Amino acid sequence: MEVAELQRPDNPDEVPPRQAALPAVPTEPPAGNAADQLDPVARREFEEFRRFQEFQRYKAAHPDGAPPEPPAPLWRRILRNKFVRKLLMLLILLFVALTFVECAFGGRGSGSGAGGESPGFGTGGSVRPNSPRETVRTVYHYIGHHEAGDQRPCSFFTTGAAIQFAEAHGTADCATAVTELAGQVTDAEAYASPEIDSQTNQVDGDRTEVSSCDSISVRGGPALGDFQLSRHPDGGWEITGYATTEACESTAPPSEEADPGVTARPSETVRLLHTYVLFGPASNACALFSPEAGADFAANFGASDCASAVQELGADAEIGYRNPGFPDSAQQRSEPVVTISSCEMTVEDGPRLGLLELTYQEDSQSWLITGHEAETCGG
């Protein structure tokens, strides 16, 4: 085969003819089945290029490099529904309300007026207080904190005693008598925590009598009279007889609002201190101290003032704190100065308050805390 000789054109201005353009190499795979139209090498390069493009698109969609989140589980998608959340909240509130009602009133039957049985009778366990002292104190407590329709005070009376209670106070039934007596209460906290002589618990046999005039120091409301109590077969104590006596000399001040600093016994002052620490107000607790004793009380508990000390102590107290037990020596009133040690007291559900010195005040005829010392109780 002869090869044509390349010759320079005679005319330098003559432009040689342009060669025909070669067909372009396709950058995209031909239409149709690319795998069938590419050779193995080209097909491998094409697949690598396609994976590279997918990787580039993924990086653009996830600049932080985090992997895509998995779909939320079904229960979470359901909870995202506003209606479902409201329904669940309603069910939770209903459950809490029912639990509260059960805890507050569960196991208590409804009284039936003057002759109503004690709540919970017939359930196999006694709901009556386990001492004459606590039975009478509980009656005062419920009258002091009386609410409309509350018949719990009457539940501690037998049918006959409830009738006697109503007749003694000139009402048709026990519940009405309780309502009228509650209307005469001027200081609910003081009235609900009367000071009762510890000797009322020293009972020989199954019967005893507690006199509101002789054995109880009542403040903030009317003294109730004399209670005759008997031990029930279930072990608790109930009121089986009632009578009024001559009006007891009231230890409450003549004003409508009771003075929180007026107390008839040294132990009553200390009991009130526990009550105010638990329920407040702190100012009433500090009114039981002289200024010097209040400052010592605050310093001994590491507080800036008496009210702050009371509030800090109250944060650790629960309902049983309001009724501490006292030794017999704390009940005396013959000496003008008395010392009561919290280590000798029975204190539940809260902190002990130290060594308290109390002095009888002739002008107000009450006991004031005039000294305080920190105290460490053994055991």
| Cα distance between residue 208 and residue 100, in whole Å | 37
Say which residue, 6 or 269, is predicted with more confidence: 269
Q: What is the mean pLDDT of residues 253-280?
A: 68
Q: Which of 12-16, 59-63, 315-319 has the highest mean pLDDT?
A: 315-319
Between 192-206, 221-235, 280-294, 345-359, the lowest mean confidence (pLDDT) is in 192-206
User: 157 - beta bridge partners?
Assistant: 239
Averaged pLDDT, 309-331: 80
Say how far apart CA 194 and CA 197 lie, in whole Å.
10
Chain segment 160-178, per-residue pLDDT in tens: 999 999 998 889 999 999 9
Render 356-375 in DSSP notation, one character per residue: EEEEEETTTTEEEEEEEE--
Q: How confident is the model at residue 206 (pLDDT cuts 50, 70, 90)?
A: confident
pLDDT at 41: 79
What is the residue type of 365?
Answer: Q
Q: Is residue 33 scored above 90 in pLDDT?
A: no
The pLDDT value recorded for residue 67 is: 59
Beta strands at 237-243 and 226-231: parallel, antiparallel or unpaired: antiparallel
The average pLDDT across 346-372 equals 88
pLDDT band at 253 (very low <50, low <70, confident <90, very high): very low
- Structure letter (DSSP) for residue 1: -
Q: What is the pLDDT of residue 113?
A: 37
pLDDT band at 220 (very low <50, low <70, confident <90, very high): confident
116's tokens: 């109503």
Give the count of beta carbons closer than 10 Å to the beta carbon of residue 256. Answer: 8
Q: CA separation (Å) from 55 to 44, 60, 63, 371?
A: 17, 9, 12, 83
Residue 8 has pLDDT above 60, yes or no: no
What is the rounded CA–CA span in Å between residue 17 and residue 220?
Answer: 128
CB contact at 8 A, 141 and 193: yes
372 — pLDDT class (breaks 50, 70, 90): very high
Overall pTM > 0.75: no
pLDDT recorded at residue 117 = 36
What's the whole-number mean pLDDT along residues 100-113? 51
Residues 271, 274, 275, 276, Cα dihedral to 10°: 120
Question: What's the pLDDT at 290?
Answer: 93
Residue 201: the pLDDT is 66
| Weakest mean pLDDT among 212-216, 263-267, 305-309 | 263-267
Residues 261, 273: Cα–Cα separation, whole Å: 10
Q: What is the pLDDT of residue 192?
A: 85
Quick one: what percent of the chain has pLDDT higher than 70?
Answer: 72
Give the long-range contacts of residues 149-153, CB within 8 A, separation 24 or more. Answer: 150/178, 151/110, 151/111, 151/113, 151/116, 151/175, 151/178, 152/111, 152/119, 153/178
| Res 251: pLDDT | 41
